[in-house]
Structure 1
Amino acid sequence: MNKNVLLVDGMALLFRSFYATAVHRNFMINEQGVPTNGVNGYLKHLLTAIQTFKPTHIVCCWDMGSQTYRNEIFQDYKANRGEPPVELIPQFDLAKIATEELGIMNIGLKGFEADDCIGTLATHYKEEANVTVLTGDKDLLQILDDRVTVALMQKGIGHYKHYTKEVFEEEMGVSPKALIDMKALMGDSSDHYPGVKGIGEKTALKLIQTYQTIDRLLENLHELTDAQQNKMQAGLKDLKLSRILAEIKCDVPLDCPIDQTKININSERAVAMLRFHQINGIEPMVNRLSEVEIS
């Protein structure tokens, strides 16, 4: 197996890059009046990852609007999140343009999150390739597999915490899939779904380490403390809902054959795009990549 696929969480890279400089209001506005700070950092993360992981194939995945099937199931899903800053909004399209001009495919599907696209592509591609997911989102650790690894971005550019299935299991004491049930128990304040009221991260982990799945936990409620039994009984409806929301869909209807994702950095197009949009500091990275044969 000589195919190595890099699946990039474009949303995670762009948001991280934007807020890294926005705190000082360093938006790098170009002559067209479009801020470029987020795209600038996004490209640095992306190109550094390509240098690091040397993929043969690559796809960048994106959210396509704020509403997904999860909002149909639970209206308040991510309801605690406000609108993106006005300086970030035009950079969503610019980031996709920049990616395309590099010769890298963008993928997104209305009604689904970037995570769902990543989970689906990883499921398809692992049959014939080794897959690395680049993200800052720990939720994606649930798709770890024998041929799927996750590189979690750390502070700075080019710093990652590498997770294999074995590393996750050693660290957490549960399987990657068990992360779904753990999150269903504890809920997620960031995504704004409830879990079981009164069950926090430590208790959720301990329960899943003991019972492996929610189903087995529910079969053995009598073994829990009276307080835990009461919490579980009161939170059953929220628990079932939260499990659906926590699980990354790996069967999104995407049409993206692996052969269409072969990496082919187009330095001429990329440099022309960078100059037109005045995205500074990236051109040397593009030129270095184009000089290296990626097989």
Structure 2
Amino acid sequence: MEPGNVTQISEFCLLGLSEDPELQPLIFGLFFFMYLITVFGNLLIILVVSSDSHLHSPMYFFLNNLSFVDICFTSTTIPKMLWNIQTQSKVITYAGCLTQIYFLILFAVSDVFLLGVMAYDRFVAICHSLHYTAIMNPRLCGLLVLVSWIISILNSLLHSLMMLQLSFCTNFKIPHFFCELNQMIQLPCSDALLNNLVMYFAAVLLGGGPFSGILYSYFKIVSSVRRISSALGRYRAFSTCASHLSVVSLFYCTMLGVYLSSAATQSSHSGAIASVMYTVVTPMLNPFIYSLRNKDIKRALKRIIGVPVM
């Protein structure tokens, strides 16, 4: 296409999960309910951890950050989706789309790094328990979180700046309920090969790296726990990892399921539905996993709200 004939479009059309008008009230109610649970559930975790001195430890410091990231991650997509349904509009501006992509990548990568840092914390707590306090000191904890945020910010900035180099001409319909990078780089009329290469390289490096660290940490944890002679000791040691392991499994399995299902069906619409799992369902379930499987959280909740948690 001749450069003089390219007209950069100023807005996109989000097709959403369904174009059936009769389903819109149901989708609105369901996602509004899930969003409220996500926000209030994670805010409650932050409140409990911040207000209870017994929970002022590295493990809960990282959990606080994870809950904050989950709130931001969900808030990047769901409010805009609900607004579009309420106003019966599917439009999102070009600037709004780029902003959504930036923050989605930022919080998704932050989530991955925090899960990796939490795995390292459990590794030190179980495999080097005598030196845990010395190793996981406040300075190191703050540094780990800071490095996670810096890498996430730089990665998001790179993808966003590369998106600015693309030209969108006539194909402005996005078969999704938010602007996802994987969908967006299939739409431009200019060459997006470099964007594809950078996207997959970053996914392998920033997704596979922390995941490899998690696998290594749990391999060493299992090896260490197996050397404990008593069954009760083994149970107590591994029970401290149960919540984190559940969240890791949920996050990675749902995200892997999204990309495997979209690759198998070649359907953008099915990919949009599958994306609900890691963008909405996982952040919503995290507070329940940590509150229901964690005795310290349950005791703190009981002290705050005065009602025992099952």
Q: Same fold (TM over 0.5)?
A: no
Query: TM-score, normalised to structure 2's length?
Result: 0.23
Query: TM-score, normalised to structure 1's length?
Result: 0.24
Richer in strand (by share): 1
Richer in helix (by share): 2
Q: Identify the structure with bigger relative contact order (alpha carbons < 8 Å, sequence gap 6+).
A: 2
